[in-house]
Structure 1
């Protein structure tokens, strides 16, 4: 779920003419269907093992349990290997360029289009058509559509996520500040953070906002105030509009009472929070377990994200409280020897049975609609309903993307984008100029796609 810059050398893939070599689990053959189906409908697979790569160690135990359930039914062993985010994409790119590649793996909105366009992913379209367990309308539309290219489906929705506000009850109590509620606006968050920072003489920061983590941070304010990072047709942006500038002005104010970006870059928001140096952070549902199992977890609590009272009526109306949502996709290497086996595993992960168990185990919220209530009840003693209420009582928008998201996403974080404004939040003029620059950066990047 991290959003760092990815460099995909797809020209190397095309030049090499190599697509989807397997790591030896399902084999390195021509990708023909080697599964045999008997008269009674049971299947005999040609492979005895499927390898999976993921990047989140928090999810590995639960996903392995679900995979083991499928193994008990299929007779095919499943091995899940965790590789850190940066190395995950480096190794996957190397595999796409002619090296070893896992059989099944996660796809992300930053990279999906390039992988889909270059023949690296197994086309799941025909398998889905023959599978009664997978019905498009049962899944979150944004996640399903993300992994569709030219009418072909290359991944199935693994999950979806939302964003909430995490706070330290002990810090709020120590400095006499009321804890966050569902009635909080972003101005309320600013005032609370300001009070904590000032009363502690800077020993404790009221909040920490990592500007490089757009999905769980500043993107949400942009939508609350009525602008869009990327328009719904994926052909433009309104970040330089009056509404966009109002949103980013609020971001600027929050940065003035939070941990400096130099501190955040060195330590990270999660570490600052868990070390008791920060009163609040915003975070995604995929990170709940890290805080649930933390040493001081009894001091932690979740609330829905604040809202922007744009009409000034003192209540949260439709369109004033947004949470970004994103979703990973289960994909397979196009060159596996037994694509039916790989698809059947993916189908099981994404079936109602697999999705409900994923939620009950607290792995993540489902890519299938209607199963997230089980996720909210998975963390005994910690109320995480803010994540499910974000979509029940607020509004969702899908994480902004275009064909080459990393191009403009990276540029926004550099000099000439928002970097100067984020590092010098005391100057409102810098933020206004940055919004104008961001408008042009995104427009130019889309035009070049």
Structure 2
């Protein structure tokens, strides 16, 4: 065999190997990057990756999962956006969608939704989809909701039993009824001057623990156009009541008293009997109960108490969503993934405990109620979600609200709870600082 023929055969062999490699890569499909806060916060990496693998096998792609808890997650997204390195699919909060859509980070998915979701829209709760638009109320869709989130009053049933108290009514408590229970549940067991169990626990001025009280007093912290921080009289009354629980009635501790503890662990540890926060806390409470089955901590949920100005139950509610990077190389595959992980493929075993699936057949399936697990009244979480809702989200919400930096309204109200400043001083400072942020977003006001 002459030298030229050998070289030709080697060239043909190299070409064949190259073609085989390309075909194999095409057969595997692209690799999508998926970034969410959920697995990190709920310790469900393996379960979530299993779901992603199912979706990828159906859609002809693979998925790399990355997760980071909030609020660090949002700072990480900002850094990735600055580096032009956004994941293909990532979690979007109701407090960030407007800002991210306006900045051009999110793909307009209206066409996909109209093609695949509108024909079966009766299978989805419709309200959360309005939060996925920008600009609101009828702009394009820039995200797809997967769960309804709202805040409730969580309480320790064993603490109520020990005090001989009836459980909070699902028909609604007044502030006076709540305060009477909180006083009875605040206990100094050995009369040493140190409280062993508080009736209530509130961490700083956290959004999920504050706004619900304001809305249940027919108040708001924003003006009618949601462009300025302008708490009305009813909102101020609610903030005064919350501050009084620490400073006057002493049924709740200043946040610094439990410094070093995770806020969500105070009630399971028996240090307080009641706590307002999101429905997602169910997952943490179950984990705490499982880890300490002999502890006196059986938990349930109830409505946030009604203030003197209450007219109708109004809940603090929002949606957790998934978005697609505007510059993704694989928009069709990314949409397939989003559609897959928000619909019937995300069956009960892949749900995030406590959060209400936007896909109605899953949420309305009796199996979702998990009657053999705590809380015994999980149906209440679904019923509570049917009430009218309000929210305080705006562009740059994390900055003026203090979610991302611990300052803003959260930090100011924390200082009030510690007795460092008065509520009037906090509101005066916020009128300047919060509205400085909002005036950058809405300069026309």
TM-score by length of 1: 0.76
Structure 1 counterpart of 2:286: 292
Is the CA contact (8 Å cut-off) linking 2:362 and 2:368 kept in structure 1?
no
Offset, 1:120: 1.9
Looking at structure 1, the residues matched to 385 and 65 of structure 2 have their Cα atoms a distance apart, in angstroms, of 31
When residues 433 and 371 of structure 1 are mapped into structure 2, their CA distance, relative to the original with a 3 A threshold, is farther
When residues 309 and 45 of structure 1 are mapped into structure 2, their CA distance, relative to the original with a 3 A threshold, is farther
Is the CA contact (8 Å cut-off) linking 1:227 and 1:238 kept in structure 2?
no
Structure 1 counterpart of 2:114: 129
Offset, 1:97: 1.7
Structure 1 counterpart of 2:37: 55
Deviates more, 1:72-81 or 1:338-347: 72-81
Aligned length: 391
Query: Is residue 200 of structure 2 the alignment partner of residue 207 of structure 1?
Result: yes
Looking at structure 1, the residues matched to 174 and 102 of structure 2 have their Cα atoms a distance apart, in angstroms, of 42
Matches within 5 A, 1:168-187: 168-182=156-170, 183-187=172-176
Query: Is residue 329 of structure 2 the alignment partner of residue 329 of structure 1?
Result: no
Query: Is residue 315 of structure 2 the alignment partner of residue 339 of structure 1?
Result: no
Is the CA contact (8 Å cut-off) linking 2:199 and 2:252 kept in structure 1?
yes
Structure 1 counterpart of 2:244: 253
Matches within 5 A, 1:236-315: 236-239=228-231, 241-255=232-246, 256-294=250-288, 295-296=291-292, 299-308=297-306, 310=308
Offset, 1:106: 0.2
Structure 2 counterpart of 1:98: 83
Query: Is residue 141 of structure 2 the alignment partner of residue 153 of structure 1?
Result: yes
SS at match of 2:149: coil
Offset, 1:92: 2.1
Offset, 1:409: 0.7
- Runs of 5+ unmatched residues, structure 1: 1-43, 312-316
Is the CA contact (8 Å cut-off) linking 2:348 and 2:362 kept in structure 1?
no
SS at match of 1:302: strand
Is the CA contact (8 Å cut-off) linking 1:134 and 1:350 kept in structure 2?
no
Offset, 1:265: 4.2
Q: Deviations over 1:253-297 (max 9, x none)?
A: 223311221024431332222222221112312221221232346
Is the CA contact (8 Å cut-off) linking 2:182 and 2:200 kept in structure 1?
yes
Looking at structure 2, the residues matched to 349 and 133 of structure 1 have their Cα atoms a distance apart, in angstroms, of 17
Query: Is residue 71 of structure 2 the alignment partner of residue 80 of structure 1?
Result: no
TM-score by length of 2: 0.77
Is the CA contact (8 Å cut-off) linking 1:50 and 1:103 kept in structure 2?
yes
When residues 234 and 284 of structure 1 are mapped into structure 2, their CA distance, relative to the original with a 3 A threshold, is same
Q: Deviations over 1:41-98 (max 9, x none)?
A: xxx9883432211112325455444434323422323333222224423332222122
Match of 2:369 among 374, 377, 380: 377
Offset, 1:160: 1.0
Is the CA contact (8 Å cut-off) linking 1:226 and 1:243 kept in structure 2?
yes
SS at match of 2:198: coil
Query: Is residue 213 of structure 2 the alignment partner of residue 218 of structure 1?
Result: no
Offset, 1:350: 3.0
When residues 328 and 197 of structure 1 are mapped into structure 2, their CA distance, relative to the original with a 3 A threshold, is same
Offset, 1:231: 4.4
Q: Deviations over 1:204-242 (max 9, x none)?
A: 122211134212x11111111111123463234552x32
Structure 2 counterpart of 1:37: none
SS at match of 1:80: strand
Query: Is residue 157 of structure 2 the alignment partner of residue 165 of structure 1?
Result: no
Is the CA contact (8 Å cut-off) linking 1:376 and 1:388 kept in structure 2?
no
When residues 356 and 337 of structure 1 are mapped into structure 2, their CA distance, relative to the original with a 3 A threshold, is same
SS at match of 1:149: coil
